[in-house]
Amino acid sequence: MRRSLVIPAAALLTSLAVAGCAPAASSEIPAAPSGAAAGVPSQGGAQPSTEPAGPVVPGKALLQPGDLDGATPEKADATFWSYLLPPNACDKPHASDRLRLAAATRQALYADAGAVRPTVVVNHVARYEPGTASRVLAEIKDSVRRCPGTSAGGERRWTVTRTGDKMVMLKIDSDIVYGAPVKHAAYVGVAVVGDGIVVVADAGFEASSGNQKLVDRLLPVAAERAEAMN
């Protein structure tokens, strides 16, 4: 591990509260276990983030096929996923967006063994001005407090499910129409890694919701990958 990181490798192996429990303060991200399409919330809210010129996020800093049971990540549509880059429950950009030096976003159609249908996994990694990544995380949390959303018009409804000094877990509920009205949920994890922010989201597929357990598994893997930025 490179010395500029603030999350030690050991911290990546420490579990948070069990998925679905009430928010519990913790400074760690979930532990790694041993060993899209219609139905994704409609777009709106924050304006699309761009990937600025200059410093870059190397491809090795994002999830790899081996992390996704062979699924191949591809460049994601930053406009479509704007509300996740990074997560923003409000309808205007974060003030910290101007501090972003580089960013990259990938998506993959993932299906684990025995899955009935695939799901869309989104991985976003961004580098910020030195010492400002924690500010970005604070703004993400604050946006959910200020703009939790409503059930009217199919808007997203944001909930913080777990939080800590260096991470936050979010649930995004939406009402969509896929032949008939459907309740849809996406799950998002965000972690601070050095001067970077790592986002992993399971956005579901078509009418199917995402899975919190998948985000719990992939976030620490993505955080380790993101160390390649430093």
pLDDT digits (tens, 9 = 90+) for 93-125: 899 999 999 999 999 999 876 667 899 999 999
151 Cα distance to chain centroid: 22
Domains along the sequence of the chain with CATH: 9-229 (3.40.1000)
Distance between CA atoms of 185 and 204, rounded to whole angstroms?
8
- % of residues, the chain, pLDDT over 70: 73
Paired sense of beta strands 167-177 and 196-202, if any: unpaired
What Å distances lie between residue 82 and 27, 89, 203, CA to CA? 26, 11, 13
What pLDDT, in 10s, does the model give residues 36-68?
333 444 444 444 445 445 678 999 999 999 999
Q: Which of 61-75, 105-119, 139-153, 172-186 has the highest mean pLDDT?
A: 61-75
Write a three-state SS string for the chain: CCCCCCCCHHHHHCCCCCCCCCCCECCCCCCCCCCCCECECCCCCCCCCCCCCCCCCCHHHCCCHHHHCCCCCEECCCCCCCCECCECCCCCCCHHHHHEEEEEEEEEEECCCCCCCCEEEEEEEEEECCCCHHHHHHHHHHHHHHCCCCCHHHCCEEEEEEEECCEEEEEEEEEEECCCEEEEEEEEEEEEECCEEEEEEECCECCECCCHHHHHHHHHHHHHHHHHHC
Per-residue pLDDT, averaged over 19-28, amounts to 40
User: Which pLDDT value is given to residue 126?
Assistant: 97
Q: pTM for this structure?
A: 0.77
> According to the model, what pLDDT value does residue 16 have?
38
**Arithmetic mean of pLDDT over the chain:** 80
